[in-house]
Amino acid sequence: MMPQWTPYLVGLPLLGFLLSGLLGLLWPRYRRWEIGIGVLAVSVVALAFLLALGLFVGLPQEELPLRVVLYQWIASGDFAAPIAFRLDTLSLWMTLIVTGVGALIHLYSIGYMRGDAGYWRYFAYLNLFIAAMLLLVLADNLLLLFLGWEGVGLCSYLLIGHWYADREKAFAARKAFVVNRIGDFAFLIGLLWLFREVGSLDLGVVLDRAGAIESTALGAIGMLLFLGATGKSAQIPLYVWLPDAMAGPTPVSALIHAATMVTAGVYLLARLSPLYVLSPGVLGLIALIGALTALLAATMALVQTDIKKVLAYSTISQLGLMFLGAGVGAFSAAIFHVFTHAFSKALLFLGAGSVIHALEGEQDIRRMGGLSRHMPLTYCTFLLGALALAGLPPLAGFFSKDMMLTAALGSGHEVLWFLGLVSSLLTTLYMGRLLVLVFHGAPRAPAVSRAHEAPAVMRLPLVGLAVGAVAAGWIGWPDLLGHGAWNWIGRWLSDSTADLEHGLSLGLEALSIALSVTVAVGGLWMAFRLWGRAGLEADHMLQRRLGGLYALWQSGYRVEAIYERLFVRPLLQGSAAPLRWSERYIAGGLIGLASRSAFFIGSGIRRLQTGLLSLYALVMLIGALGLLAWFLWRSL
Amino acid sequence: MDYYRIAFYLFGALTVLAAVVVVWSRNLIHAGMGLLLTLFGVAGLYALAAADFLAVVQILVYVGGIVILLLFGIMLTQRIAGRAPRTGVVNRTVGALIATGLFVLFVMVIFSARFAELPWIAQGRMIDRESAPPVGSTVERLGQLLVGPYLLLFEVAALVLTVALIGAAYLARRSRQEGARPRRMIS
Amino acid sequence: MWLDTLALMPVLLLVVAGLLIIVLDSLDNDSPVLPWVALLGLLGALVLELNRLGGGGRFLFEGLLRVGGFSAYVNAVLLLGGIATVIFCRAYLPRIWHAHGEVYALVLFALVGMMVMAASYDLVLTFLGLETMSVALYVLTGLAREDVRANEAAMKYFLLGAFATGFVLYGLAFLYGTTGTTRLDLLPTRIPNTPLFWVGVGLLLVGFLFKIAAVPFHMWAPDAYQGAPTPIAGFMATASKAAAMSALLLLLGHGLGLVRPQWADVLAVVAALSMIVGNGAALMQGEVKRLLAYSGIAHVGYALVGIASASASGYAGALFYLLAYASAALGAFGVAALWEQRPDRQLPAEDLSGLGRRHPLLGALWVLFLLSLVGFPPLAGFMAKYAVFAAAVQAGKIWLVLIGVITSMISAYYYLRLCVLIWRPVEAHPLPSSGQLASGVLLLTSALLLWLGLWPSGVLELVGRFFEDSGLVLR
């Protein structure tokens, strides 16, 4: 396969977007032709996946990285930004994840969105989402990467707000957008600074010259870019948008959580890992933030009652683990976790979508239960996904999680390692709780008895993803086995990432693995015991036992309220005050002054608002005075 | 003190005092008369600066034409409004502060300029001593300059006047369409 | 002399077309032929200007003005604005019973003034151009004579504009008094060491900054745009700003290029204020034209960032910004003009509901224009912001870029609100006025936005060349 085909990876989904968008916009009858729209959208992404697969198989690892230049985008003076793509082990791997999982989610959407008024719009945006994410992943230039970065943000806004007629959902979309913009802002500043230091934004140049950057500047750039990553990847302090982003259609949540959007932050860290390993302080902070996010989000996931919210907090927690991995220098392990997590989380979301679909929109797990009898396939796949996410060996999640945790232990971050372990335990608990409350026990709502399996077009992706959730981890066995000989993924990715090597004694590694396995098995056993027996009562019992702590978890550590009080309200009031002032002053002055200054032109014409006019002239004069004073001061 | 200076300060004082009347008078007619005197004073200053043509034009156009028109306008509209047109002063304090500030600034700057030492004036003087400037009417030279190097400027100025004429005609003419047809839009 | 006059053909074409319109109008009142005459003149001028876009500039009339290159580029932007304005006027004015022939003549004459400004190397000529433009715009603002709001808008614009003219004249007098010249090419060698000179420069700046509606000389703009017929508001927001901006660029870049440190900071402050006040005030507007007026004030701030960088790349960025902003704003005002239907000529944001459902293509174009104004990649607005910000970073004005980036993020909020609004499931009225030609202009400007965003190198190189080999004082 020729590397010249690379632009089509981005081009195909973009073409899908343009076709669906234009046809839907200009030809109303096309909007109702659901089969055509769906097939078009799925086939472009599937084709992109096949193309990526071809590149993956056809290009020997030795030939990477490759640079494929499409054309010169900006060339002004000494600055040039070509539209160029970078093919290396990292970008190729991410492309496979995005297109593979993305194609399955597209397929699922055909069934899920049936009958929706915005069917064509939905698929057009979905294709654009994939295109933007692929651009982000494949870009060889950080400016181009930023284009994809912004595009992903815009698409998430459009898709979360798909049902924009609902005020709350439109608000959730806007919240996601605004919070992301904060991160993007830091990201952009970081980029500008980087450009100032290096003189180029080409990845090759940036990574080559990273060592030449002065260390404080490097640290600051690293921090700014990291802040951008926390926005996209929903980490502390910018995670608040992700739970609300559940307002979108469920497949969109799956896409955001598994394949696109949130993985962008982890990808960015891995992509710039040669830069990050040079500033250990920033890396330490990343690890700390990751570990804290993992722990806090896991506790919040434990107390949610909305099936999608549990999964949302779970994603934040898993992303925290990935950041922990990246922070201790195990970038390839973090990407490996992106890979395994993509399968299990997409599976869980699509499974949840099936459940919601079957229960006619019900999302509250307190009104579910006993669904396993009515939806056996969904149950089986959901079970596999949950167990994989909980890190039960030999399912996929175990391998990647273990790789990150051993790296944390090996790098000497024992405390962070412990935090990671605790959040793993919590993961098993909330996954077990979710599984039991949704599928086991007695039905707690009449709708459950009417539930039925989804159509085949929705079942097929579940099976496909379940296979991945089971087997995806087998490409990265722990170093314990064959001294890394069986760790294929590590060898593949470390071509592109600058992993820190930690000499961890085999004994310690074995201990870590043993603890992980114990935690996984023990946690699941505990969860099944607790919720399997008592059902919802277990929640109440926990609430009684934990008291204030439980309430704190339920309120999400009051972060939303704190943000509201610290930022949102002062900002609103801050902007309201000048408005009120201008209203009072201008409108008040208008009436008072206009009545005092009689100034008629002709008959029957209302009084000219001379008060306002003189105010305008006054402001102008003050400005002029300031300008002149400045010039005078400068020339003296 | 020579006569030149006396004349200069006389015209200067006339200009400034009349301008004060324009600004402070509450009676528009008085203000108009003040404007007349101000423009006349400026014409005197022009004459003293050896710009005789400019001075004549100033009196012809501004004093004789524009201000008279203005006064007619005021007197005619007085009838319509039904009472003596008066103006008020608003933003007294802030306005006074800013005006004082600007005034002080300009005075400071102009006095510190030392025009005689500016390069172009100093050089000009040296040239002048060698070849004395032509004394007499400036009309001829002005005319030559206007159809010579400044022809383009002259033409553009003509365009400004054309535009002003068209605009005035449009604004002042009787309604043609909006009167004839109902003032309603198709929607 | 004859050859020099020939080189002024684009301007002469407009003058002739304008006079022809006046004559034709007197023969056949408000004949429907008139816009076509105007368009013919504009297209001819545009072709001539585009023809000499690539070559370097050429001085005419012993250095009085310079055509080609820089001025050809700015004139092309201006003519684009003129063409769009005439076409939108043709669709819009009959609906408010004001399809007067004079309108087209006045638009052409205003353009003549603007084009003179963009070419002038003599401040007196610049001033005359400014006045030609202003007088025509005063009248156009008050086109709806029977409407109080229009009267008020025109009166405010006129009085404050006259005020600003006073500043310009005063500054010009100081400048001449201290240097003995009004020529920009002679200025660099004659800058005297006296505060009076700088006060003169400051006074001149006040006048120019007033015309581009930069803070704190912006207060007239929202009222004027709201009172003016919508296509004329678009004309004022784009063409008159571009013309005054290019005159400012010529004065600062060429005339005062040697003493950049003296004025760069003050422009940076004005730019920062414009971005903050413009975007902040736009957040609270409920009327679309008023909102666009404030957004225009903010965009002037962004373009000024380029000039405040005081470097060739900054000037080039500012020029690029002018084109990018003009394309997007013309489109936005055009859609507003086509959609507006109230008898009082207002367009509250709520009135936009349902536009996208009723006319999907128009809605999509509207979104495109606004996204470009936000500066969303890969549209022209992004490229333009990038160009000026990069120049400012190179000039060491990081704080200015910070403000620019923050405010443009804030601006996304109100633009996106307008984008979302039009897709509301509301039954909307059909398009009150339309026209194949108007849709054509909208498509053209949107294509321009995409082209400038995706393949900006051509134009960026072009505008960069103006400042590299044009004798600009940059040492």
Q: Give me the tens of pLDDT residue by residue for chain C, a chain 475 residues long.
A: 677 888 899 999 999 999 999 999 989 888 889 999 999 999 999 999 999 888 777 888 888 888 888 999 999 999 999 999 999 999 998 888 777 888 999 999 999 999 999 999 999 999 999 999 999 999 999 988 888 888 888 988 999 999 999 999 999 999 998 998 899 988 888 888 888 999 999 999 999 999 999 988 998 999 899 889 999 999 999 999 999 999 999 999 888 888 888 899 999 999 999 999 899 888 878 889 999 999 999 999 999 999 999 888 899 999 999 999 999 999 999 999 998 888 888 888 888 888 888 888 899 999 999 999 998 878 999 989 988 998 898 888 889 998 998 888 888 888 988 888 888 888 877 777 667 889 999 999 999 999 999 888 889 888 888 887 544 544 3
Q: What is the DSSP letter of A364?
A: B
> Does the distance separating the beta carbons of B101 and A632 come in below 8 Å?
no
Please name the residue that has the structure tokens 């033409």: B155
For B74-92, write each residue's pLDDT tens digit. 777 765 555 555 556 666 7
Angle among Cα A63, A67, A68 to the nearest 5 degrees reads 115
Residues of A in contact with B88 (CB under 8 A): 596-598
By Cβ distance, the residue of C99, C106, C196 closest to B163 is: C106
Task: Name every residue whose Cβ is closer than 8 Å to that of residue A462 and which is 6 or more positions away in sequence.
Answer: A108, A347, A350, A351, A354, A377, A378, A381
Asked if residues A234 and A315 have their Cβ atoms less than 8 Å apart, the reply is yes
Chain A contact present for B5, CB below 8 A:
no
Which band of pLDDT confidence, cut at 50, 70 and 90, is reported for residue A127?
A: very high
Q: Which of 111-150 (C) contact A at CB < 8 A?
A: 148
Place of tokens 């368009």: C39
Q: How far is A596 from chain B (nearest CA, A)?
A: 7
C474 assigned to some structural domain: no
Tell me if A631 and C201 make a contact (CB, 8 A cut-off): yes
The token pair that represents A348 in the structure block: 């869980």
Answer yes or no: is C475 within a domain: no
- A249: Cβ–Cβ under 8 A, 6 or more apart, which residues? A109, A112, A113, A116, A122, A159, A162, A163
What dihedral do alpha carbons C78, C79, C81, C82 form, nearest 10°? 120
Q: Which residues are within 8 A (CB) of C218 and not within 5 positions of it... i.e. 6 or more apart?
A: C274, C277, C278, C297
Q: Domain map of chain B by residue range?
A: 1-89, 138-187
Please say whether the beta carbons of C115 and B146 come within 8 A. Answer: no
Choose the mutation target among C217, C459, C467 for the interface with A, i.e. most A CBs under 10 Å.
Answer: C217
What is the structure's pLDDT at A606? Answer: 37
Q: For chain A, list residues whose CB is within 8 angstroms of any CB belonging to chain B.
A: 593, 596-603, 610-611, 614-615, 618, 621-622, 624-625, 628-629, 632
Q: What is the DSSP string of A122-145?
A: HHHHHHHHHHHHHHHHHBSBHHHH
Distance between C123 CA and the closest CA of chain B, angstroms:
11
Residues of B in contact with C96 (CB under 8 A): 185
Per the CB < 8 A criterion, the answer to whether A416 and A324 are in contact is: yes
Which among A585, A590, A600 is the top mutation candidate for probing chain B, defined by the most B β-carbons within 10 Å of its own β-carbon? A600
Contact A174, A157 (CB under 8 A): yes
End-to-end CA, chain A: 70
Collapsing DSSP to helix, strand or coil, A368 comes out as: coil
If one looks up domain B1-89 in CATH, what number appears?
Answer: 1.20.120.1200
Q: What pLDDT does residue B129 have?
A: 52
**What end-to-end distance do the CA atoms of chain C give, in Å?**
34
The arithmetic mean of pLDDT across residues A449-469, rounded, is 87
Dihedrals phi, psi of A88, to nearest 5 degrees:
-140, -175
> CA A109, CA A38: separation in Å to the nearest integer?
8
Instruction: With beta carbons under 8 A apart, name residues in chain A contacting C455.
Output: 71, 73
How far C391 CA lies from chain B's nearest CA (Å)?
34
Of B66-80, B122-136, C134-148, where does mean pLDDT reach its minimum? B122-136
- pLDDT computed for residue A602 by the predictor: 30
Q: Which residues of chain C from 411 to 450 reach within 8 Å of chain A, CB to CB?
A: 412-413, 416, 420, 423-425
Enumerate the residues of chain B whose CB falls inside 8 A of the CB of residue A605: none
Greatest mean pLDDT range, A105-109, A157-161, A357-361, A559-563: A105-109
The per-residue pLDDT for range A17-47, each reduced to its tens digit, is: 999 888 888 888 888 888 888 899 999 999 9
Residues C130 and C295: their CA atoms lie apart, in Å, by 23
- Contact by Cβ (8 Å): A599, A610: yes
Which residue of chain C is at minimal alpha-carbon distance from A606?
Answer: C148
Query: B124 CB near a chain A CB, below 8 Å?
Result: no
**Residue A47 backbone dihedrals phi, psi, to 5 degrees:** -60, -40
For residue B4, how many other CB atoms are within 10 A of its CB?
9
- Please, what sign has the CA dihedral across residues A424, A484, A502, A229? negative
**Facing residue for C361 by CB, picked from A25, A188, A608:** A25
Distance, in angstroms, between A229 CA and closest chain C CA? 17
Q: What are the tens digits of pLDDT across the range A365-388?
A: 888 888 888 888 999 999 999 999
Residues 549-578 of A with CB under 8 A from C: 575, 578
Q: Which residues of A touch B80 (CB under 8 A)?
A: 600, 602-603
Rounded Cα gap, residues A111 and B41, in angstroms = 89
Task: Please determine, for residue A258, whether its predicted confidence score (pLDDT) is greater than 90.
Answer: no
Contact assessment for residue A318 and residue A385, using Cβ atoms and an 8 Å cutoff:
no
* B138 Cβ contact partners less than 8 Å away, ≥ 6 residues apart: B50, B51, B52, B53, B54
Sign of CA dihedral C340, C343, C348, C350: negative
- Asked whether residue C222 is assigned to any structural domain, the reply reads yes
Tokens 């009787």: give the residue.
Answer: B174
pLDDT of the residue at C118: 93
CA–CA gap between residue A607 and residue A117 (Å, rounded) = 52
Confidence band (pLDDT; 50, 70, 90) for A579? low
Of B112, B151, B187, the CB nearest to C194: B112
Select the residue of A157, A174, A632 nearest C199 (Cβ to Cβ).
A632
Is C473 among the domain residues? Answer: no
Residue B179 in this model has a pLDDT that exceeds 50: no
| Min Cα–Cα distance to chain A from C20, Å | 33
pLDDT tens for residues A485-509? 778 888 888 888 888 877 777 788 8
From the list A600, A601, A632, the residue facing B105 with the nearest CB is A632
Q: Which chains touch A (3 or more CB pairs under 8 A)?
A: B, C
Q: How many CB pairs under 8 A join B and C?
A: 116
> What is d(CA A323, CA A297) in angstroms, rounded to the nearest whole number?
13
Of the residues A166, A583, A631, A633, the best mutation for testing chain C's interface (the one with the most C CB atoms within 10 Å of its CB) is A631
> Closest approach of chain C CAs to the CA of A248, in angstroms?
16
CA nearest to B86 within chain A: A598
Q: Which of C129, C135, C181 sits opposite B156 (nearest CB)?
A: C129
In this predicted structure, the answer to whether residue B51 has a pLDDT above a threshold of 90 is no
C432-C435-C438-C442 Cα dihedral, nearest 10 degrees = 80
Rounded CA-CA distance A418/C49 in Å is 71
How many whole angstroms separate alpha carbon C198 and alpha carbon A481?
Answer: 79
Number of domains chain C contains:
1
Q: Specify the residue for token string 């009004």.
A: C182
The CA distance from A392 to A379, in Å, is: 17
In this prediction, residue A593 carries a pLDDT of 41
The Cα–Cα gap between C185 and C183 comes to 6
- Position C395 scores a pLDDT of 87
Q: At C454, which amino acid appears?
A: L
**What does DSSP assign to residue A564?**
I
Residues C111, C303, C197, A616: is their CA dihedral positive or negative? positive
Helix (H, G, I), strand (E, B) or coil at B38: helix
Which chain C residue has its CA at the smallest distance from B180's CA? C97
Using the Cβ of B161 and the Cβ atoms of chain A, whether some distance falls under 8 Å is answered with no
When pLDDT is averaged across residues A453-474 and rounded to a whole number, the result is 88
Share of chain A above pLDDT 70, in %: 91
Q: Do residues A37 and A120 make contact, with C-beta atoms less than 8 angstroms apart?
A: yes
Q: Pick from C65, C199, C341: which is nearest to B187 by CB? A: C341
Q: What confidence category does residue A571 fall into, taking pLDDT thresholds of 50, 70 and 90? A: low
Is A195 at the interface with chain C, CB within 8 A?
yes
**SS3 assignment, position C45:** helix
Q: Which of C82, C131, C106 is nearest to C19 (CA)?
A: C106
What confidence score (pLDDT) does residue C50 get?
Answer: 93
C44 in a structural domain: yes
Give A-chain residues touching B107 at CB under 8 angstroms: none
Å between A588 CA and nearest CA of chain B: 14
Contact C22 B176 (CB under 8 A): no
Determine the average pLDDT of the residues in A551-559.
79
Q: For residues C393 and A589, which has the higher predicted lDDT (pLDDT)?
A: C393
**Where in A407-554 does DSSP place strands (E)?**
none
Q: Which residue is listed with tokens 């999640």?
A: A397
The C-alpha atoms of residue B32 and residue B39 are separated, in whole angstroms, by 11
Note the Cα A580 to chain centre separation in Å.
Answer: 39
**Which residues make Cβ contacts (< 8 Å) with residue A110, sequence separation at least 6?**
A34, A38, A42, A457
Q: Which residues of A touch C316 (CB under 8 A)?
A: 76
DSSP state letter for A478? -
The pLDDT of residue C1: 65
Q: How many CB atoms lie within 10 A of CB A541?
A: 12
- Least confident range of A296-300, A481-485, B71-75: A481-485
Question: Which pLDDT score, from 0 to 100, does residue C5 have?
Answer: 83
| Domain assignment of residue C310, given as a range | 2-468
Is residue A74 very low, low, confident or very high in pLDDT (cuts 50, 70, 90)? Answer: confident
Residues 269-288 of chain C with CB under 8 A from chain A are 269-270, 280, 283-284
Mean pLDDT of A583-608: 39
Could you report the per-residue pLDDT of A411-456, keeping only the tens digit for each?
A: 888 899 999 999 999 999 999 999 888 888 888 888 888 888 888 8
The answer, for B100 touching chain A at a CB cutoff of 8 Å, is no
Look at residue A603 in the predicted model and tell me its pLDDT.
28
pLDDT for res B126: 61
Residue A99 has, within 13 A of its CA and on its CB side, a CA count of 31
